[in-house]
Amino acid sequence: MHGTVPPPREPADGDAPARQRSVGRILVRAGPASPGGSTRLIDLSESGPSRLRFPRGEGALEAVLVNTAGGIACGDVFASALTLDPRADFVLTTTAAEKIYRSDGPVSRIDNRVTLGEGARLAWLPQETIVFDRARVRRRFEADLAAGSGLIAVEIVAFGRAARGEEIAAGLFADAWRIRRDGRLAYADSFVLEGPISALLARPAIGGGARACATLLDVSDGAQTRLDEARTRLTALGGSGIEAGASAWNGTLVIRALADGVGPLRDLVARFLTGYRGLPMPRVWQS
């Protein structure tokens, strides 16, 4: 027996209009072509506006993540899953700053997961994220590291564009990190700003007036032994309007930095990583 289709419900006051949202997904696996050989792409799946490009270069396999939608807003969902076979060497970056635009209610989600085999190395080096007024986003980064593997990860976030005097009068930015080594939780961090974000950042106990922040992690054997080196580099590179600090424990080195604007913070991160890794930043960072 065939039923009848009910008439569409009239939207209630305050309802957000229904939209077709972007859903982008990347699945990638990479590993050495032979024992001791260079890293090559083994498998790649792309969907929606998410794409990976692999510029030619020497050393690690470099991948550039591209969002052809031009930004994220209003309930968009983006997810990536990266698997590195034992002894793989991989660098991931983005083609430009990621922009999180205003939402009329729905929360956008970004979910990144990485799995590193024994002896694998990953440098997770996206360019900065710019959060606009009334943006609403939840972002999660999860990593599972096998014995002898190493992860360097950085995330830079700008709250509005300082050069234009933009303020975040209302919004949601939630960022969660979970990193496991040999199946055991090694690092967990949850960071949430909700409401008048610019006003919250102005409080001395939160941001002290900062408009941008950065987190940099080195999770690898012996990372904690480089704490003095990291602090020395930060002192040498720090400038007016930048505050940065480092701490380390059990194979984990963490650096946090605050700045008046994203430009000086981006420059600090790039110069620090160039010296710390002993390698240049990905080419897209230099354009």
* pLDDT score of 239: 76
Non-local CB neighbours of 277 within 8 Å, separated by 6+ positions: 123, 152
What is the DSSP secondary-structure string of 57-70? Answer: -SSSEEEEEEETTS
Task: Locate the domains of the chain by residue range.
Answer: 45-286
Q: Is the full-model pTM beyond 0.85?
A: yes
Nearest to 233 by CA among 216, 249, 220: 216
The pLDDT tens digits for 105-134 are 899 999 999 999 999 999 999 999 999 999
Q: Which two tokens stand for residue 63?
A: 């991948």
Nearest to 150 by CA among 119, 126, 177, 180: 119
Q: Given phi > 0 = left and psi -120 to 50 = alpha, else beta, which region is 60?
A: beta
Angle of CA points 149, 227, 112, to nearest 5°: 40
The pLDDT tens digits for 150-192 are 999 999 999 998 767 789 999 999 999 999 999 999 999 999 9
* pLDDT score of 191: 93
What is the DSSP secondary-structure string of 249-269? Answer: ETTEEEEEEEESSHHHHHHHH
* pLDDT score of 36: 76
Strand 242-249 and strand 252-259: the pairing is antiparallel
Long-range contact pairs involving 65-68 (C-beta distance under 8 Å, separation at least 24):
65/26, 65/92, 65/93, 65/94, 65/95, 65/126, 66/94, 66/95, 67/24, 67/94, 67/98
Q: Which amino acid is at 111?
A: D
Ranges of the chain with pLDDT below 50: 1-12
- Phi, psi of 7, rounded to the nearest 5 degrees: -65, 150
